[in-house]
Amino acid sequence: MDATFASIIAAAAPLVYAAVGEAITERAGIVNLSLDGSILLSAMTGFAVAFTTGRVGLGFAAAAGVSALVALLVAWSGISLRLNQVAVGFVLTLLAAAVASYQGEGFVHQPGPSVTPRPIPVLADIPVVGRALFGQNLSVYGSLLLVAAAGWFLARSRPGLSLRAVGERPEVAHARGINVNRYRYLAALVGGALVGVGGAAFSLDQKLGWSDGHTAGFGWIALAIVIFGGWQPLRVALGCYLFGALQVVALRLQSRIPGLAQILPSIPFPLMIFALLLVNSAGLRRLLARSHRVSRWLLPEAPAALGRNFVP
Q: Would you say 29 or 130 has its CB closer to other proteins?
A: 29
Q: Should residue 292 be labelled a site residue for other proteins when binding is judged by CB under 8 A?
A: yes
CA dihedral 254, 257, 258, 264 (to 10 degrees): -50
Examine residue 174 and tell whether it contacts other proteins (CB under 8 A).
yes
Q: Judged by CB, which is closer to other proteins: 102, or 122? A: 102
Residue 180 C-beta: closest distance to other proteins, Å: 12
- Considering only 54, 280, 286, 294, the residue that binds other proteins (CB under 8 A) is 280
Q: What is the dihedral of CA 308, 96, 143, 249, to 10 degrees?
A: 110
Candidates 13-21, 45-53, 119-127, 215-223; binding stretch for other proteins (CB under 8 A): 215-223
The type of residue at 144 is L
Which has the closest alpha carbon to 14: 48, 36, 39?
Answer: 39
270 lines the binding site for other proteins (CB under 8 A): yes
Q: Among 58-66, 99-107, 232-240, 243-251, which window interacts with other proteins (CB under 8 A)?
A: 99-107
Please report how close the Cβ of residue 18 comes to other proteins at its closest, in angstroms.
15
3 touches other proteins by CB under 8 A: no
Exposure string (b/e) for 143-170, b if CB count within 10 Å is 16 or more? bbebbeebbebbeeeeebebbbbbbbbb
Binding mask 244-263 for other proteins (x = CB under 8 A): ---------------x--xx
Alpha helices in 119-217 (DSSP H): 130-134, 138-156, 158-168, 170-175, 180-201
User: By the 8 A CB rule, do 60 and 46 touch?
Assistant: yes
With binding defined as CB under 8 A, does residue 123 bind other proteins?
no
Closest separation between CB of residue 267 and other proteins, Å? 8
The b/e string for 222-240 (b: 16+ C-beta within 10 A; e otherwise) is bbbbbbbbbbbbbbbbbbb
- By CB under 8 A, tell whether 227 contacts other proteins: yes
Q: Is 107 exposed, middle or buried (0-12, 13-18, 19+ CB in 10 A)?
A: middle
For 267, residues 6+ apart whose C-beta sits below 8 A from its C-beta are 246, 250
Query: Residue 139's Cα: distance from chain center in Å?
Result: 14
288 counts as binding other proteins under rule CB under 8 A = no
Q: Applying CB under 8 A, does 120 fall inside the site for other proteins?
A: no
Question: Which of 25, 38, 77, 232 is in the footprint of other proteins by CB under 8 A?
Answer: 77
Residue 32: DSSP 8-state: -
The one among 105, 116, 145, 286 contacting other proteins by CB under 8 A: 105
Q: Which residues bind other proteins (CB under 8 A)?
A: 33, 77, 80-83, 86-88, 90-92, 94-95, 97-99, 101-102, 105, 156, 158, 161-162, 164-165, 168-169, 171-178, 212, 217, 220, 223-224, 227, 259, 262-263, 265-267, 269-270, 272-273, 276-277, 280-282, 292-293, 296, 301, 304
